[in-house]
Amino acid sequence: MKILVTGGSGFIGSAFVHFLMQKTKHQVLNLDKLTSTANPLSLQAFQYTQRYRLIKTDLSDQDPIQQALSQFQPDRVIHLAAHQPSRPTSRQSYEDQQRITLNLLDSCHQYWQELPLQQQQDFRCLQMSYDQVFGNNFLTTQALNENSEIAPESLYSASKAAMDELARTYHRQTGFPCLLANASNIYGPRQLLDAPLPQLLIRCLTNQPIQLKPGSEHKKSWLFVEDLAAALFLLATQGRPGESYHLSSQCHHSTREAVTLLCRLLDEIQPAETSYLNQIEFDEATLDAQEAIYLFDPQKFAQEFQWLPDTSLETGMRTTLNWYLDHPQWVEYLLSKEHFSSRKKKKEIKGV
């Protein structure tokens, strides 16, 4: 099988490419703009592998997409590319996100129409989305499922919701075999350093305080990125066209619990003079906060595939911490990038 992946050099994309290269024998073509959010070291192990090829391209230009489809002739397309704006609330970021997705869907639709009938029936296009399109429903008493109301709370999440509607519309109007995956709270190796978990690790190792903000008692699922990669592969190969699937784990923990676990694991893996737990700071609002839970229901996926992501937070976090500690060159590459240093100055994370 030939699988075309967009955004394969990013956090989720590189995890998915690693899964394909390590668990399957499929051919992989990665279309990636290689912006400052991508780290070329993430897929360096496959650069001389015949089954893997990277094409640096901008998906806002439709011609390279059409050319790649024509030459590679994929059986599956996995759309993981996401525009990462410096100003996520800007109109430009919204329009860029839509242009990328519309170009890909339109190109894939044209490609699909020209395939022989059997290949048309087998073809799938899987589009990745996130739970942000449903808003921050921490106080709801019902789990969010595939039929829940869309309620984005920012232009960026609204652009994601619009991407989802574009895919649904292509299927409804033309029968184009695309499907959607919405995932919740993903963590794991190769995540950008300004994401919450890598930031926590940096603060621990540089002896900075970790201030727990109000809301840190709220529980949510923690989805290990390697579990997500396996789930995406199941959807790409066996998912039903026109359907959407929620992906989350059954591991529900608060941010406070996750921070405490991280510090305890670091005490074990790389002990300092005093426990990393001493760096955690609480305020009265945090201590008095009422516990709530954010439920993102994956039962549809579980029933169809008889499987749910099952990596515990401790196992996933231990793997993640060991990966970052064992790959200092990967970390140093991102620290040297203007992208990370400038974003860190604009958005210094003082608490979680």
**Mean pLDDT, rounded, of the chain:** 89
Task: Please say if the pLDDT value at position 94 is more than 60.
Answer: yes
pLDDT at 350: 37
The set of residues, in sequence order, having a beta carbon less than 8 Å from that of 43 and lying 6+ positions away, is 8, 9, 14, 17, 18, 30, 52, 54
The set of residues, in sequence order, having a beta carbon less than 8 Å from that of 286 and lying 6+ positions away, is 212, 213, 214, 216, 217, 256
- Spatial contact of 44 and 21, defined as CB atoms under 8 Å apart: no
Task: Please say if the pLDDT value at position 328 is more than 80.
Answer: yes
Residue 154's pLDDT band (boundaries 50, 70, 90)?
Answer: confident
Residue 284's pLDDT band (boundaries 50, 70, 90)?
Answer: low
Task: Please say if the pLDDT value at position 50 is more than 80.
Answer: yes
**Nearest-angstrom CA–CA distance, 165 and 160:** 9
Percent of the chain with pLDDT over 90: 68
Domains 2-186+222-247 and 190-221+251-292+311-346 agree in fold:
no
User: Structure tokens of 318?
Assistant: 């231990």
Q: Average pLDDT of 260-273?
A: 96
Question: What is the pTM (predicted TM-score) of this model?
Answer: 0.92
Q: Average pLDDT of 23-42?
A: 93
pLDDT at 78: 98
- Spatial contact of 12 and 186, defined as CB atoms under 8 Å apart: yes
Which class is domain 2-186+222-247? alpha beta
H-helix segments, the chain: 11-23, 62-72, 91-113, 117-122, 155-174, 196-205, 225-238, 255-269, 284-287, 299-305, 313-326, 328-336, 338-346
Burial label for 147, CB within 10 Å (0-12, 13-18, 19+), is exposed
The set of residues, in sequence order, having a beta carbon less than 8 Å from that of 215 and lying 6+ positions away, is 138, 255, 289
**Nearest-angstrom CA–CA distance, 101 and 65:** 11
The count of residues in the chain is: 352
- Extents of the domains making up the chain: 2-186+222-247, 190-221+251-292+311-346
The yes/no answer on whether domain 190-221+251-292+311-346 falls in CATH 1.10.3470 is no
Q: Phi first, then psi: give them for residue 106, nearest 5 degrees.
A: -65, -45
